[in-house]
Amino acid sequence: MEKDIFCKINDGEMSSNIIYEDDKLKVIMDKFPVSPGHMLIIPKCHITDALDMDDETFARLNGIIKKMIKKCYEVLKADGVEVVQNNGICQEIKHYHVHIIPKYKEKNNLTNEEIYVKLTNNEE
């Protein structure tokens, strides 16, 4: 079975802009953002969907979701945040991931590079 893109990122075979990382999870910038600051939270081991995830990792993931939402409001000055996670036939990539998508009332003109710097320079 061929590795999916997130397994390749986790194995260092593909590059990514890492916002946060611990022993189980990684937060990266989405390469094709739907809004400035669009991030993805991915498990470091291959987990297909929410039903395959152990409770400890799922609980830790929820804490990271909250932390990234806070960054969207405080660092990126977002007016709202969309959190999206798909399972089964809804998944384009069959590796569990959560989209954190900041939303803005007015156009945010920051580049992906500027957003990456802002997010990584404001570590907690």
CA distances from 124 to 18, 21, 22, 87, 106 (A): 15, 12, 13, 31, 27
Residue 46 appears among annotated catalytic residues: no
Alpha-carbon span 55 to 67, nearest angstrom: 19
**Active-site option among 38, 46, 95, 97:** 97
Which residues participate in catalysis according to the annotation?
Answer: 97
